Structures are given as C-alpha cells and as structure tokens.
Structure 1
Amino acid sequence: MEQEQPIIRISVRNLVEFILRSGDIDNRIAGMDKDAMLMGGKIHRKIQRQMGAGYHAEVSLKHEILCRGFILSVEGRADGIMETADGIVVDEIKGIYKELEFLKEPVPVHLAQAMCYAYIYANQQGLSDIGVQMTYCNLETEEIKRFQNVYPYEELERWFLELAGQYEKWARYQISWRKKRNASIKKIEFPFPYREGQRDLTVSVYRTILRKKKLFIQAPTGVGKTMATVFPAVKAMGEELGEKIFYLTARTITRTVAWQAFDTLKEQALRMKVLVLTAKEKICFCEEADCNPEKCPYAKGHYDRVNDAVYELLTASDEMSREILEEHARKWKVCPFEMSLDVSTWVDAVICDYNYVFDPNAHLKRFFGESVKGDYLFLIDEAHNLVDRGREMYSASVCKEEVLKVKRLVKMSDPKLVRRLEECNKQMLALKRECEEYQILNSVGHIYLKLIALMGELEQYLEEYTDPEIRKEVLDFYFQVRMFVNIYERVDENYLIYSELDGKGHFWIRLFCVNPSACLQEFLEKGNSAVFFSATLLPIHYYKNLLSTSKEDYAVYARSPFDVRRRLLLVGNDVSSKYTSRGEEMYRRYARYLLCMVRAKAGNYMAFFPSYRFMEEVYEAFEILLAEQRIAGELEEIDYILQSQYMSEEAREIFLENFEEEREGSLIGFCVMGGIFSEGIDLSRDRLIGAAIVGTGLPQVCRERELLKDYFQKQGIRGFDYAYLYPGMNKVLQSAGRVIRTDRDCGVILLLDERFRDYRYQEIFPREWKDYGTCNADNVADKMETFWEQIEEQSEEQGEEQGEEQKG
C-alpha cells in the first residue's frame, strides 16, 4: 500500500510576509502596527455587504503543490471574489487610518496576498486571466480607494511557483526534522520514579490532549507537576496530537524550571528544539531598544539577512539557548529579539510569558492572529496568576489630562491634530462634569468614534514629525488610544465601563474587563487543548469560571506525596490583621510570635505581611523586642532582613543569597504577600524551615475591587469571595508554599489571624491542611519545640535503620 505523502500547510499571508519581506526594522512606522489594527471584521463585513449579489465573501482557497517527498498546501481566505462584466476579480480589503490621498499604490505585501488568491482561483476555474482589486478603507471616514489590475494566468503561475519554490527548502527541513523528532520521542520514558499522584496526573494530561479538552490541575508543591505536564505533551506530539507546545508562565524562574524539564528528557536522546522567548528590553544589544536603522545597526537591513540567519541556526544545532541565539544574531547582524520570534515558527516548544499568546497587543500574530490557528498544546503554569493578568491585558483606559498634554506638545506644528484632540477633550469634559468620584457608563461610543478619528491624525503626525522627545510622548499616547479603541471592540457583558476622578484630580474613562474568560477563550480556541496548573488553584470553580467559558473542562486534585507529620500547621487565635485591631499592642504580639518561631530551632524563616506599612510596623516591634531580650541576656544571635518596596534585580538576588549562607543562629526575612518572594522562589531543605503568614491576604478595599464585588453579586455569585476572599487566600497559599518544596522537607507554618478559623476561609484550605492546630502567643513556643523534638527523633530512627541496612 502506497504511503501517504506528508503535508506542510502554510497560510497565504504567512507565505508572502515570510518570503517577500526586506529592508529595515523601523519602529517609527512599523511600531504603529497599522496592519494589525484592521478592526477588520466590522469594516470587511460592511464593504462585503455593499457589493451586491455577484460578490462572494470570505471564499476559502487552497492549492497543493506536489514536491519531492511531500505536499505543500497553501491556504487562505479571499475577502471577496466577484463576477463582473469583464470577468472574475479577486478583492482584498484592508482597513487603514492613513488618509487615502497619501496612498499612491498598494502595499506590496497586501498585493502579493491578493495575487496568491487570484492564482489559486484561476487555477481551479481554468481561467486565462483574472482581475485583482485592492480595496483600502479609511477606518475613520469609511472613504474607499481601489487599485485594479488584470493578470494573465501564465504570469501569475510563474510568479506564484517562484514564491512557493523559495519556501520549499523550509518545508523540506520541517518534514525531515519532524521525522527525526518523532522517532526520538517514541524512545523516551518518564525520567524519574513516579511520586504519589504523579502517574495519575501524567495520564490525565495525556487524555486531555487526546480528547482536545481543557484540564485544571490543583497540584500541591512536591508532586512534580512540571514534568507531569511536559512529558505527556511531548509524547502526544510524537503521535501527531499537537504540532507545537506553548509552555506559558508569569515568572522568569518558572521558565527556567520548564527549560530544565525539557533538558532532562534530552538526556534520553530526545531531539527537540526548545526556545525561551526573552523580552526585547533584556535581549537587545543596544543600550536602549530603539528599533530603527538610524539608531540600531542590527535594525538596518535586518529583513534582508534574517531568513538566512534563522536557517543556519536551525540546521546547525538542536540547541536554541539565549547564548546561541545571541551569537547567531551578532554573526548575521540582525535583531536578536525579532530573530527569536522567527525561530519560534520552527521550534517544537516555546517557553514564554502569557502575553505572547493572550495579549491583544503583544501576542505572536504568526500563531494567534486573525484567521490563524494550529494544533497547539498550551501548558499554563502558575495559572492562578492568569485571572489578574487577563483582566489587565483586556482592560484599557484613556486620560483627559493626557489629551491636553499632547495638545500642548503639538499645538505649534499640527493644527489638524490639535482640532482632533480638542474634540476628544470636549467629549471627555462633558463626562467629567457629570462625575463626582466615579460613574458607571452604559456606553462611550461617541468617545470611541472621536478616538478613531484621532488615530488617523496621530499616525500622520508620527510619520512626518522627527523631534525624538516629542515623538516619544506622542507615540506613547498613540498606543494608549490604540489600546482603548482595540479593547472597545471587545466590550460585552464581561465588561464594566466607568469614568473616574483619581486622587490627583485626573479624569479617566476605563474599560474594565471583570471576567476575562471569553477573551482568553478566543486564543485558547486557536489550539488543540490547554492544561492549567498551579499549587494554589483553589477553589477550582473560581478559576474555571474566570479562565474558561466551557462547561466540559476537566479538573483533578493531585495527591501530595508529602508526609504531613513533617510539617506543623498552627492557626494563631489571639491575633488579627483587621484595621480595627491594629496598634502597638497587636504589632508587639505578632513580633512575639515571630521571635518564638525563630528561637524554637535555629534556621531560616520568612514572615509574610499584607502590606509594606504593616510589615514595617511589626519589623520595628520585632527590633524593640530583640533589644529588650539582649539587655536581659536571654537571646542568641538572630539576623533579620527586610524586603524594600522597589527592589532591583540585583537587590532581590542579594536578599535571597542570605538564605544560602551557613550560620549558627536564625535568619528571618520580612516580606510582603503577593510580592516577589511569596511565589516562584525555591528554597528547599534547610534553606527555609518556617513561614509566618500575617493576615488573610485580602486585597485592600478600592474602587476596582468594589466594582468586582458588585458585578459578581449581580450575577448571583458571592461577590465578596470573588473580589477579596479567593484572591487573598491565594496569596496565603502561595506564601505558605515556600516552606515545603520537596517530600524530604520539614517545617512550620503559622497562620496568624483569628479569621483563619472562619469556615469561609477553611473552605479554601487544601486537603493537606485538615490537621491544623491552634495556638496563642503564650503556648506557640512549646508547640513548636515539641514538633522539632519529634522531627529530631524521626531523623535519629531513620539514621539507625539506614545503619542496620548497611551492616546487613
């Protein structure tokens, strides 16, 4: 039986943009990303409806080219194909902000797309020639300008086959590499003995991918969730159940852990290209990431060289580390960031921040742009972070004072832009007069229309004006306006629109995404399946409601391999972080708890607080208490360090290095819940043996939280829980999770707030916390000393058993 030829698929748009690009990177124009701002759906549909019965909209087209050893399938959707008296015409529609009088000819890449569709249609229908029409529509005025041409079929065929021929070597590489990769995947096995619950987790992930579903995993620390998700996803790729893995996370440290998981599998001779995407600001070779040919030598001629640079990198090595990527970028004199985005097209796994997939402004358009999708597998680590990150990505604001500031900057140079800014200011002033503190609004459609008009003038100004300082201010404002216009297109029942006067008297109009699930779903649907996992995905129904719109999602609670006898969990019943309870006496009582904790056993500890202010008050009380004890001659050496509010990366590293040092006494770090040290750091074994969680982590009462509470209350959901309780308890669980990192760790966790005894808080306790005890400032020392004595006895017994085994 004849074996089927493998098929390589590429969209028309990706083909022309990849093969035909040339010249410089220039953020002075490209930075405005006009083509991405099509606001495409609406204007396309409007024009298509106006074209009459002979116009066929959104026509799917595909052309297969038989190559040696595979089939190249070029696919896409023509905006329109119309039957005219003179013959068939292919129509390509583009929405732009630029005034049409300045457009003298079609943009070459746009025309190339239309010519591809024309060739495919002419080939299918046996036409001797075919018309091509480029339809440009100004998004503000809806004025239309068209360019038309007729092409003989032979001319189009020569042009198209040459274009496809230039892509053939890339397709051939893809076929060859996939064969090697899949063969190596078949041979790999899970690299460690399975921990308790880990095998079930691995099976659940594989089944989810097989069924093209979504899975939510609550996996306590120590389960080994990174490998339990990466391994089955890799195996699924080997069986053609997915074409690319996107491992998404919110923090740099977790990206490193994911990279290490792939590296561990490579020790079994797995052949897989894995790329970590690094932010432009971090990987840029220049002092400032100013991407234009006048400022950056790597931007000049970048597109003339980058395809050759990428091809050499792919064919020279399986390794795609940052160091190797930078080395190749220097060699070929191309931008390392833009090159890494191109490399991402060809690798098997991409490890990156959430925004590369979900952010409407920053997502990778080659994978997640309009009408683009693929067999992607999403592994979403630290998924608890995606709720607030999602709200942030899909919300937008515009500030009246920013409008006036830009007006002052351009008033002498651009009267038309000034007029547009005045129109926006006038509309916003009318809303400001109606607003005392804040006001819920049903619609701001009139502001939206004025901002669209403003966009066109801003683009024109930015293309022509060269003063770098003024241009930067105007460009920043442009992005703010563009974001607002973009997000307004999404506004639905998951949004609140409101105006607000802030503490400085500035007037804002805000589009607030209260439930990001529908926006996230739009991007998740571009792949095959998604796995959300975290050590703190509780309560799971909260995360399912805010991260997915599907009612068919799976959820699993992975069992912890940890022996709970090696951990002491105590709830302090005589302290409270409520505002009404705060004062010197309460701060001193908290300080007493912390002193008892660090004296019970010499070692490293952390204390987590609900705010910097609260932390500093207890820190001062702790210092006073230490001084008193020293005067009385009752105290051994204790070191203590404080997290500051604006720590540089170097300062963070120095803070954590304290926990690596050998010392005879104890160290306690004062930290903030929800901050840089409360998640994503890994201090296993004796590098951290205890944590005190001061307070329930509830977010401070503010307008946004109150709006969330009211919104969910009206939906028939417990609004306080969604706005305050669940986000707060997540911070508590994350902070407590710093102590137990492996199944060999031991330590104490103090939950220091009487509210932890309330059933609403205990509903969110993980299963492993069901055996908690209670304490007060007078008996906590005894309870901890007893615990550490028992741990010492267990260690001695284990040592004796190991000695007997060695003798035997």
Structure 2
Amino acid sequence: MPYAVILSVRALVEYVYRGGSIDSGFRTTTSLQEGTKAHQAIQNNYGEHDRKEVHLSGDWEHDDLLIQLEGRCDGIIRESEGELIEEIKSTAGRLELILEDSHPVHWAQAKCYAYLYCVQEELESIRIRLTYVQVDTEQTKQFIQSLTRTELQQFMGEVILLYLPYAKFQARHAEARDRSVKELPFPYAAYRQGQRKLAGAVYKSIMERQTLFAKAPTGTGKTISTLFPSIKAIGEGHLQKLYYLTAKTITRTAAEEAFRLMRSNGLQLRSVTLTAKDKICFKEETRCQKEYCEFADGYYDRINAAVLDLLSNEQEISREVIEAYAMRHKVCPFEFSLDVSYAADAVICDYNYVFDPKVSLKRMMEEQKKQTAILIDEAHNLVDRGRDMFSATLTKYPFLQLKREFKESNALLAKAANAVNDFFIRFRKAHLESGSVVMPSCPEELAELLEPFIAAAEAELSAGNEMTAEAATILLETYFTAQTFIRTLGYYNEAYVTLAELDRNDIRLKLFCLDPSGMLRQMAKGFRSRIFFSATLSPLHYYREMLGGSPDDYVLTIPSPFRKEQLDVLLLPLSTRFRDRERTKRGIAVSLHQILQERSGNYLIFFPSYDYLNEVLELFIQYPLDVQLLVQRIGMSEEEKEAFLDAFQTNPAKPCIGFAVMGGMFSEGIDLTGDRLTGTVVVGVGLPQINIERNLIKQYFDRNGRNGFDYAYVYPGINKVLQAGGRLIRTETDHGTLLLVDDRFEQRQYEQLLPEEWKPLTRYSHF
C-alpha cells in the first residue's frame, strides 16, 4: 500500500513556484485573506448556478507514494461554453503592472483546481480565469486560458515531479518516526500517582475526537502525560501532528525537555519551537522590506534549500537551531520557523498561533486539522489572553500624525487619515463631560472611514515611496491596527461592548470582548482533539465554559500526588480589603517578621499589587531581620528575573526573602525545589483591581444568568492564589509552610475553591 501524504494545493504550488522576497514591495494583508471584500465583490455577481469557495480534493499516485491533494477554489462558474474555474487575487497595486505571466504561482494554483475538478466531474476540458481585483477601486483585470484534461494532467505531473523528492524525504521520515514510536517506552521507570490516568484520558480523547479539560496538580507530570499519549497516537496513524500551546517560556522549555527525554529513548520525531518575530529578528528594527533586510531579500529563492537542509540534519528544532540555519542560508528566521513548522511533527508555540485570528497558521487546511491535536498547557491563562486576542483598540493620535506627515507627499492618504481624526474630534465634543463612554455597538461612521484609510495606506506601502523611518513605522502600525479593528467588527456580537476612554490628549476606542468563549470555540473548531490542562483549572465548570467547552466534553480531576504532611497551611485572618489596608498593613508586616523568625528559610511573599507590596515592605523593613531581601519591580528584564531566582539557594548564608506580585513572573511556572524555597505567603484573595472593564464583564454575566462577581473577580483572583501557593511543593521530597493572609479564606465562597490538600486551614496567632 502506498504511503499517503496529505497536501494542500497552496503548499504544493508555493513549494514549486514561489520566488523572490518576503514582501516583494509590500505584501498586503488583503491579498492573503479568504473572503475579503475584494473576493466578495466578484463572487456577489455569480449566478444562481455558480458556486463559490468550493472544496476540491483528489489523489495522485507515484511509485509507492500517494499524494492526497485538497484545496478551496474561489469559484466554479457555469457558462454556455461549459464550466469555468476562477481564482481571485486582490492587490493594492496598479493593475496595469500585472501581466499574464507575472505570478506563476497563481496560475499553478488555478490549474491544480481545474485538474481536480476535471477528474471529479470527468470533463475533457475546462476554462480557467485568473481575476485580479484592485482593493481601492474594485476594478478588475482578467486572464483566461482553455486547457484540456490531458494538458492539465501533464502540468500536474510536472509539478508533482518537482515536489516528489521532498515528498519522498518526508515519507521516509514518517516511516522511521512511526517505527520509533511503536517501540517507545514511557520514559520513566514508573508512572506517578495520577499520571497514568491523565495519559489514558488524553489518549482516549484523541481516539474519540473529543475535548478534554483536565485539572492536574503540580507533581502529576502534565507535560509528559499529555505528550506521550499524543505521540503514540501519531505513531498509530490517528494523528499527523500536534501543537503544544503555552504562554510562558518556562513551559515551552519543559516541553522541549520532554521531547529530548523521549529522543534519548529512541524517538525519531521533529519538533519545532516558534519564537515571536520581534524576539528572533536578526535586524535592529523588525521591518520586513527587501531594501532594509537582506534576510527578506530573495527569501523565497533560498527557503526550500534551507528547509531541506535543516530537516535532513535536525530533530530538535529550537530557537538556537532556527537561528543557526537561518544565518547559514541567509533567510528570515521567523518566516523560516513558520515554513519549518508545516513540515514538523510537533510544534511548540504560543496560544496565538492557533487562537488569534491575526496570527493563526493559515496554511493548515481543514483535512490537516482533522489529523491534528492541540495540547493547551496552563489553560487558565487562555481566558484573559482570549479577551485580548479578540478585542481591538483604536486611538486618535496616530491619524493626526499621518495627516501631518503625508500632507504634501500623499494628499489621498492625508485626507483619509484626517477624516478618521475628525471623527474622533466630533466624538470628543459629543461626550465632553465623560471620562468614559460604553456603547452596545461601534459607530458605523468610523468603520466607513477606516475602509478608505486602509486602502490609501496599502497603496502607499505598496508603492515603495521614500519616507522617513518614523513615518513608515507609524503608517505600518496604524494600517495593521485599523485592519485588526475592521476584522474584529466582523466578530462583534452580544458578547462585545464598545468602550471609549477620553482624556485631554487622546481618545481610545476599544471593541472589548467580554466573553471569549465563542471565539475560542470557533478557532479550535476542526482539530481532531483539544486537550486543556492546568494545575489550577478550578472551578472546572467555569473554565470549561469560558474556554468554549460544552457539557458533553470530557473532564478529569487528578488528586495531588503529594502527601498532606509535606505542606503546613496557616491562615492569618486579617482583612486585605482595600478599605482596611491602612488599618491592617502593620499587623501583616509584624506577622511576616514573626513567622520568618519562627520558621526560618527562603520565602516568597505575594501581594495583589505593587502599591500594596511597597506599603507593607516599608513597614516590614522597620523590624531588623538578618535576611537577603529581594523585591520584584515593574518591567524587570530577563537578566534581573534570573538574578532574583538564582538568589534562592540551598543553605544560604542568609535566608532569602522575595517580595513579589500575584499573577506576575514569579507566581507561575517557577520551580524552586528542596530548600531553595521553604515558605510561601499569599496576601489577599487575588481579586483583580476594580475597574470599568472588570465591571462590564460582571454586568454581562449577571445579565446572562451567572454570578457576575464570581466570573469577573473571584474566579480569576483565586486562580492567582492557587498559582502563587503552588510554587512551594514541587517534588515528593519538598516540605514547607504556606501562609494565607485574608479573613475571607474562612468564608465558604472562598474556602470551597481551595485545593483539598490545603485543608483544613490552621489559624496563625499573631502579635
């Protein structure tokens, strides 16, 4: 039986035909988006028997290889001469500059669709129309070819022949990978408590194409428990690929280490780690223009050789590996990593590559998704991240800058920017007495003004005109911001409000996503299986709902693998409510001093805000204590963060006491094992700061039959408490003291949200 390779039409023709630079002048967002206004302008004129966005698929067998092609054709039109395949491409450039042979990749894509359709419908010939649409004017330019099925078959044979060496290379790798997976043992001598249960639930969810929500405490070994069964599913042919999604560097590192461990036991599997563009870019400024960046110039002429070189020699494709090969082949490291990710078996990346509509991996076809699992680590973080991804903000000032900057050089762009600026001025006058305005919808006038601005900005960016670096940066950033704003308007529904905040210098208009669950569900749709897991996925019903789950999804709660006697949980019942802080902060400072004397060791002390931290710290240092005191500051660099953590050592000359904030860089994903950390103090119940956005969330869920205060404040807050408290016991040999400071922990509403291993709380006597 031939080995099957599932391949999108786009991936095939781009591999064979693409060339030139990353931008080729300016590569507009419009030209890359399916279902844009330009496409619709053509498709809306189709007749009742015409079809648009038609999924086509077919097989091509060569020797021992079966290439399964699929793609989505823009249009199939029925005419008196017969049926016609249409491929639509939008551009912000000048149509007169586009010739029939300007873009071989576009013709190749259309011909592939024509071949698949001819085979499917048993046609002997077909006409192909390549239509270019100018996004500003909606004017079109068309080229038509008539080809026989035999000619199309010959064309496909030539394309496949050029792709075949790469396909065979991938097939050989897949066979070796699958053999190694079948022989792969669990990489530890024995499963930890709960670990086999979690791994089994992950495997079952993949087999049954289900979604799983798993609350697995620290010590369960979540990373290997989710990766190992997923890799087994790949080796058995149930999956082609997996995405390990995470929000933090430390959890990305844990996934890389898990793959490394399995490779040491014989696994042959390619994993790639994606790094944000601004972090991995070789240039001082991240500007993807061939005139500025030698790694963008001619990128597509060199990329196939670079990918083949890397895949031939590496299995662990980390950031360092990407950078080394990118430098060797003189290609953009970020785009290189994306190209490699489509050929990898596993991808370790941020949430946004799957969930953010602005960033998501658009080349993944629906059939490929059906054979892909997504593993979402520390899934509790995805709720607020989702709100950010699906919201959009527009401010007045950049439009005023662009009006001034292009007044002389581009009157059309200046006029379009000025129109948006004038809208904001009128808005300010209409709401002169208000610091903030909440509206159920976005003003229609603004959307109508942004469209011509986007078109004018695209035209200017495409033209390659000379401008200052500052002007280019402002124009590009404002263009993408406007694009995001318009795109977000397309999602706008009852789960959104429009929030305007006005001050003397600027106006900020935000399309605010109150409930991200619908969009998260939509973005995760199509994948074979979705595995959401975290140590603090509590309460489970809240996270299942907020992450887009349903009552039919699988849920799993794993008990803590640690013994209760490893952790001594104390309660200091002093109020940390904002109104009481002035009264109780000295008592907290004195109690901290007391417990550090009674139970000496290294401690992390977490506060709900920097202001509160500094208020208690000011009193704490008035009491002499022979310790090394560290304080988290706003905007700490990676080097400062590492120095902070490195100070926590076993048997230090002086105990190390770290003051930090809940929800910050030291409250999650930090492993200070053994005596490096012997105590943790959590001050407060972690409630987010009361503000207009949190209150809008509260009101939304109140209207929808939920407890809005819990959804907006209590549940997100208690998660911060659980994360901070979870820093303490990380292994079977750790012991320590956890002190919770707040009288609300004695209330049932909060007490029932705490882990069973923290109960019962022992009151701590103070001063």
Give the TM-score normalised by structure 1. 0.90
Task: Measure, in 2, the Cα distance between the counterparts of 1:104 and 1:455.
Answer: 25
Paired residue type of 1:307 = N
- Give 1:671 shift: 0.4
- Give 1:458 shift: 0.6
Residue 729 of structure 2 corresponds to 740
Task: Measure, in 2, the Cα distance between the counterparts of 1:425 and 1:319.
Answer: 50
Residue 497 of structure 1 corresponds to 498
1:598 and 1:667 in contact (8 A); partners too:
no
Residue 609 of structure 2 corresponds to 611
Residue 482 of structure 2 corresponds to 481
Q: Does 1:344 align with 2:341?
A: yes
1:54 and 1:82 in contact (8 A); partners too:
yes
Corresponding residue SS for 1:509: strand
- Aligned in 2, Cα 1:330/1:507: closer, same or farther, shift over 3 Å? closer
Aligned length: 760
1:99 and 1:456 in contact (8 A); partners too:
no
CA distances 1:541-573 after superposition (whole Å, capped 9, x unpaired): 111111114331111111111111121111111
Corresponding residue SS for 1:367: coil
Residue 55 of structure 2 corresponds to 60
1:570 and 1:773 in contact (8 A); partners too:
yes
Task: Measure, in 2, the Cα distance between the counterparts of 1:45 and 1:462.
Answer: 23
- Give 1:221 shift: 0.9
- Give 1:292 shift: 2.6
Task: Measure, in 1, the Cα distance between the counterparts of 2:49 and 2:545.
Answer: 45
CA distances 1:159-205 after superposition (whole Å, capped 9, x unpaired): 33211211112221222211111111111222221121111111111
Residue 781 of structure 1 corresponds to none
Paired residue type of 2:590 = R
Task: Measure, in 2, the Cα distance between the counterparts of 1:513 and 1:10.
Answer: 35
Corresponding residue SS for 2:369: coil
1:38 and 1:95 in contact (8 A); partners too:
no
Residue 317 of structure 1 corresponds to 314
Tell me which of 414, 426, 432 is aligned to 2:410.
Answer: 414
Identity %, equivalent residues? 41
Paired residue type of 1:580 = R
Unaligned 5+ segments in structure 1 are 627-634, 779-808
Q: Does 1:594 align with 2:589?
A: no
Task: Measure, in 1, the Cα distance between the counterparts of 2:103 and 2:501.
Answer: 42
1:610 and 1:698 in contact (8 A); partners too:
yes
Tell me which of 208, 218, 226 is aligned to 2:223.
Answer: 226
- Give 1:402 shift: 2.4
Residue 395 of structure 2 corresponds to 399
- Give 1:316 shift: 2.6
* Higher mean C-alpha displacement, 342-351 vs 297-306: 297-306
- Aligned in 2, Cα 1:576/1:101: closer, same or farther, shift over 3 Å? farther
Task: Measure, in 2, the Cα distance between the counterparts of 1:93 and 1:553.
Answer: 40
2:398 and 2:474 in contact (8 A); partners too:
no
Paired residue type of 2:127 = G
Task: Measure, in 1, the Cα distance between the counterparts of 2:40 and 2:289.
Answer: 35
Paired residue type of 1:641 = L
Residue 668 of structure 2 corresponds to 679
CA distances 1:569-601 after superposition (whole Å, capped 9, x unpaired): 11111x222121122x52221111211222123
Task: Measure, in 2, the Cα distance between the counterparts of 1:123 and 1:681.
Answer: 57
2:369 and 2:528 in contact (8 A); partners too:
no
Task: Measure, in 2, the Cα distance between the counterparts of 1:704 and 1:671.
Answer: 25
Residue 444 of structure 1 corresponds to 443
- Give 1:708 shift: 0.5
Q: Does 1:277 align with 2:285?
A: no
Corresponding residue SS for 1:262: helix
- Give 1:379 shift: 0.8
* Higher mean C-alpha displacement, 99-108 vs 314-323: 99-108
Task: Measure, in 1, the Cα distance between the counterparts of 2:334 and 2:61.
Answer: 35
CA distances 1:672-706 after superposition (whole Å, capped 9, x unpaired): 11111111111011110111111111111111111
CA distances 1:222-267 after superposition (whole Å, capped 9, x unpaired): 1111111111111111111211111110000110111111111222
Q: Does 1:20 align with 2:17?
A: yes
1:281-430 → structure 2 map (5 Å cutoff): 281-367=278-364, 373-430=369-426
Paired residue type of 2:512 = F
Tell me which of 140, 143, 148 is aligned to 2:144.
Answer: 148
1:173-184 → structure 2 map (5 Å cutoff): 173-184=169-180
- Aligned in 2, Cα 1:469/1:371: closer, same or farther, shift over 3 Å? farther
Residue 81 of structure 1 corresponds to 76
Tell me which of 617, 630, 643 is aligned to 1:641.
Answer: 630
1:565-580 → structure 2 map (5 Å cutoff): 565-573=565-573, 575-580=574-579
- Give 1:433 shift: 3.3
CA distances 1:382-412 after superposition (whole Å, capped 9, x unpaired): 1111011111011101112322222122112
Task: Measure, in 2, the Cα distance between the counterparts of 1:700 and 1:101.
Answer: 56
Corresponding residue SS for 2:244: strand
- Give 1:310 shift: 1.1
* Higher mean C-alpha displacement, 263-272 vs 423-432: 423-432
Residue 524 of structure 1 corresponds to 524
Residue 234 of structure 2 corresponds to 237
Task: Measure, in 2, the Cα distance between the counterparts of 1:303 and 1:272.
Answer: 26
Task: Measure, in 2, the Cα distance between the counterparts of 1:475 and 1:44.
Answer: 23
Structure whose CA Rg is larger: 1
2:211 and 2:554 in contact (8 A); partners too:
yes
1:37 and 1:486 in contact (8 A); partners too:
no
1:58 and 1:77 in contact (8 A); partners too:
yes
Q: Does 1:777 align with 2:762?
A: no
Paired residue type of 2:231 = V
* Higher mean C-alpha displacement, 741-750 vs 291-300: 291-300
Task: Measure, in 2, the Cα distance between the counterparts of 1:297 and 1:141.
Answer: 33
1:495 and 1:514 in contact (8 A); partners too:
yes
Residue 459 of structure 2 corresponds to 460
1:367 and 1:374 in contact (8 A); partners too:
no
2:211 and 2:549 in contact (8 A); partners too:
no
- Aligned in 2, Cα 1:102/1:704: closer, same or farther, shift over 3 Å? farther
CA distances 1:77-104 after superposition (whole Å, capped 9, x unpaired): 3222223233332112334555656655
- Aligned in 2, Cα 1:211/1:733: closer, same or farther, shift over 3 Å? same
2:6 and 2:368 in contact (8 A); partners too:
no
- Give 1:143 shift: 4.5
2:729 and 2:735 in contact (8 A); partners too:
yes
Task: Measure, in 1, the Cα distance between the counterparts of 2:66 and 2:319.
Answer: 33
- Give 1:154 shift: 4.6
CA RMSD in angstroms comes to 2.2
Task: Measure, in 2, the Cα distance between the counterparts of 1:247 and 1:153.
Answer: 43
Residue 720 of structure 2 corresponds to 731
- Aligned in 2, Cα 1:301/1:514: closer, same or farther, shift over 3 Å? same
* Higher mean C-alpha displacement, 520-529 vs 251-260: 520-529
CA distances 1:460-502 after superposition (whole Å, capped 9, x unpaired): 112233222211111111111011011111112222223332x
Paired residue type of 1:408 = R
- Aligned in 2, Cα 1:410/1:753: closer, same or farther, shift over 3 Å? same
1:372 and 1:526 in contact (8 A); partners too:
no
Residue 258 of structure 1 corresponds to 255
Give the TM-score normalised by structure 2. 0.95
CA distances 1:430-478 after superposition (whole Å, capped 9, x unpaired): 4333332213133433321221221110111122332222111111111
